[in-house]
Chain A
């Protein structure tokens, strides 16, 4: 009973997660797939050979561009969010409530409006069509997410651990490095992952601020989709999902949050 229950739960999750990927997989391997066929009428590796050979350079470049933007954005988001979240989680101060509302603004305002609004400014500051400009516009919504995740972590964090460490002879930097950091590592991983994936999936803001100079994977994907070649778009989509999937697998053991349950 219990076993079959677990089995059906696993099957449901797998089906829900797997089905869209399966469709993408089928499309990427299709040579011809016309309505109303349930499966492609003929198969082939044309799409894959196209993106790996003739368009290969483009795809690999876009892949690296995406990884670089997302990684730098995630690192910056976590670095900036850390002190802010610590203050929000541990201390009471005036203006805390208005500040938290302000933090949600970039999340509820569409990225399109944010990017449009910032574009002019970025042109004036020489940030338009630059790597830093794209990272900066991604940060406008990645940073609030990172702050919210880490805020939750610090709300459950007992600063007495740090006092205890100092009384045991640890200097302030040693406390940060050897007590606080390991203690909140799961939260940092989750916040970083959120920021990474959010940046990874940005299209409009990248296009507007990057001005077509910065070709990330989503930008390339849209261009290929526009060409109407379904199998190629499917193959690029799969390439697009892969790194995110790997990042998720890599950090899965941190997502349970069990290492946070210290002896308080």
Chain B
């Protein structure tokens, strides 16, 4: 249906640089996520792709064709905004048919297309409703239907789940995924929620401060973050500076065996995810590991987050191991293959 390539994109508002050096390629029929904290420039990028905002530099290519100079209505791209933005003076069916009407489709064609999309988005029977008489979830689905009915080459969605409460969110997520896999519309959606991005996307791009930090599969970004900031965004913790030498990472915690490639003794940063650290109670007597004391705990339901003081350093652990009491003596084990040593730390050289 359509591939989307963004090349060296830069976007300014007045004098303020919002996005710079942004590159991203999304294949035909792919579901891609643009992930980033609020204010990172996600909406800005979507608007530029939709043609609602002119980039300062760079190219936007759809199916290999540059569309920079095309007005929004001439691009085969539809953007669904974060808020439903349903036209209040039209009913549900009229809202959905809006784009078809603008395109010049006849009333008969509009009717069949609308009834098909109503079914697909589980809005059967609501075509005649006033938009005020819909629930939040239904409004969001009408907004989605209004875009889908046009079958654009590229569909853009700005935080499609952020206005919904937890239950509806899951429902809507599954709906979007099933529709996307059925219609195979190339989709780029925006979210600030890392778990949402990991669950929904085939490709993932992390945007921090208007710059692309890493793009790849969800597994790439989660297990092989490019730098500590990426790791931190995905819930990582425990960053230690040290030197890598002969399969051992020497840092303040001691000498940790790692499976990383050989190092040259330069200062590097290593990390281990809180859930990858194995915690044993001291009494269990598994030898080795690092001794420490529990200083803080947070019960998170399926697991408990605990801060363990080893010497003067705190290590954050996510563990399912029973109940921990403050001051309790525990041992921490760091599986070598779970320790990620980042490429050389230029800042500290």
Contact = CB atoms under 8 A, between A and B. Distances in A.
Main secondary structure of the interface of B (DSSP, over half): mixed
B89 A182 contact: yes
13 contacts: A160-B85, A163-B50, A163-B72, A165-B98, A167-B77, A168-B102, A171-B73, A172-B71, A259-B89, A262-B86, A262-B87, A263-B85, A263-B132
Contacts of A179: 87
Interface string A131-144: 00000000000000
Given A259-B89, A261-B88, A264-B83, A167 B50 contact: yes
A183 interface: yes
Given A164-B81, A168-B99, A169-B103, A262 B88 contact: yes
B85 A167 contact: no
Chain A, interface SS category:
helix
Contacts of A158: 85
Interface of A: 158, 160-161, 163-172, 174, 179, 182-183, 185, 259-264
Contact of A168 (B71, B84, B150): B150
B84 A263 contact: yes
B71 to A, nearest CB: 8
Contacts of A260: 88
B78 A168 contact: yes
A146 B233 CA distance: 51
Contacts of B103: 169
A264 B85 contact: yes
Contacts of A259: 88-89
A128 B335 CA distance: 95
A163, A169, A264, most chain B CB atoms within 10 A = A169
B45 interface: no
A164 B143 CA distance: 10
Nearest to B78: A167
Interface string B83-114: 11111110000000011001100000000000
Contacts of B81: 160, 163-164
Contacts of B139: 263
B147 interface: yes
Given A161-B85, A179-B87, A168 B146 contact: yes
B131 interface: yes
B177 interface: no
Given A259-B89, A263-B86, A169 B131 contact: no
Contact of B88 (A160, A167, A174, A263): A263
B52 interface: yes
Most buried by B among A171, A260, A261: A171
A170 B87 CA distance: 13
Given A169-B73, A261-B132, 10 more contacts: A161-B85, A163-B47, A163-B52, A167-B73, A167-B78, A174-B102, A179-B87, A185-B89, A263-B83, A264-B85
A158 B134 CA distance: 20
Shortest Cβ-Cβ A-B pairs, 7 listed: A262-B88, A168-B99, A169-B102, A263-B86, A166-B72, A167-B79, A182-B89
Contacts of A161: 85, 87
A174 B103 CA distance: 11
Interface string B282-312: 0000000000000000000000000000000
A30 B50 CA distance: 72
Contacts of A261: 88, 132
Contacts of B132: 261, 263
A158 B81 CA distance: 12
B85 A164 contact: yes
Contact of B89 (A163, A166, A170, A183): A183
A182 B147 CA distance: 21
B52 A166 contact: yes
A91 B72 CA distance: 21
Among A164, A168, A174, A264, find the residue whose CB has the most chain B CB atoms closer than 10 A: A168
A99 to B, nearest CB: 21
Contacts of B78: 167-169
Given A160-B81, A263-B131, A167 B72 contact: yes
Nearest to A171: B73
B53 to A, nearest CB: 9
B52 A170 contact: no
Nearest to B88: A262
Contacts of A174: 102
Nearest to A260: B88
Contacts of A165: 87, 98, 102
Contacts of B52: 163, 166-167
A207 to B, nearest CB: 43
Contacts of A160: 81, 83, 85
A183 B85 CA distance: 12
